[in-house]
Structure 1
């Protein structure tokens, strides 16, 4: 079964002009009507680091979750953020950004990889106590622009450490949009076969013309969980290419359906979401 994760948080967080809380909530409420498996809707991180997400708790209070089958995921960067997020029973998943790059881990969470792994373990314990699940995003999963060590074998070492912590979901993240179809297939093939108890997701960034081939490559490797954002909004500024953004959800849907996957989405609500996205992102 395909799990399709829509990521309004990732689409919004880098926008310098603050998006009104009511507009955020209206957009996420619309996305809740579509039938995505999960919405990566907000984050509990320092408002100094990500000012756009400072109103996540207020947005959550405005969401209409009663008729939606979608689950909610919030990103956290430390134990305090996890504790804040776990105060809200509506949140199903906590996402943590763990990097195979020492440089990026320091830049992203102001911690070493060793300390970040301790944080992952602490959050895992908190989630188990609260009946929640943690999703670890393994960033720089397909390449490293900082000159830090990188290899498929290094990814396997990180996955092994996370498997020892009983992690159920790991999302391999192409933070800077450098993954090739061959590497995507290789990484997912190796990991899905070595760790069948773990669900591996793809959080890829891409130029628009490469989205379809990257989805197909991940499918070939055994991936059945995909993150995206409508129109590909958002992405990592470190990619240094304004055309590299999130994987456009509507393109992923078209690709997945062309391969015979039944996604059970409400297409009329998806069309409304696409219209509203243009307004929210002023595009």
Structure 2
């Protein structure tokens, strides 16, 4: 490989002056990523070759603050576009190998290749910087993904608590599926807010889609019913299945104080709507 060299060059100038050779060597070190460079540029507007040189210069020049900020930005971009972490890891390790190849060539051209003390000091310094980049990249990537999953879960949970107005003062809350500690908190938040916003006087909670609840969930649910009552709204439970009732009995929990229970949602709606019409 023909390299441009000036005896007065610093290592960073040597790398910049030999940019085409650096990129060629890098692509040969990262065979799997090389075939995806155009796709990644198109998908996430990420110029891998330009970013590789930026990482190398930050690492060599010991620009730690810039390197950490760059890693965090890269982590967010890769997470946002769901780009493969395996490609990123292969790419950074290829950058590491390519950088060391150029460091060796620079030392050879400057007659410093036999200076072992300098080599080991440089080895630790450079590798620590690249490891720090990887660490901050993965932390940023994971943090973004965790926040995204949390937001998506909140959206799904709110959509799974549909309070449906059926008249001017009567609403229905059909509950379906498993209710865990996270979802019961969402139910509490949305129910109390909607009662106030919609001025609900009667909330019919249909439990026909719930097979069972854990004791702590039943206890929390009872507190929600107490809260509904405190807001001046009447609670009506419908569709209680035998398994759920059995679980409630053995848990020693009763809803009789602040709630009315009825058989089916259809019959309950019929009664309340007929009363409102008359």
Pair in the same fold by TM > 0.5: no
Q: Which has the higher helix share?
A: 2
Q: Which has the higher strand share?
A: 1
Larger radius of gyration: 2
- TM-score (normalised: structure 2): 0.28
- TM-score (normalised: structure 1): 0.28
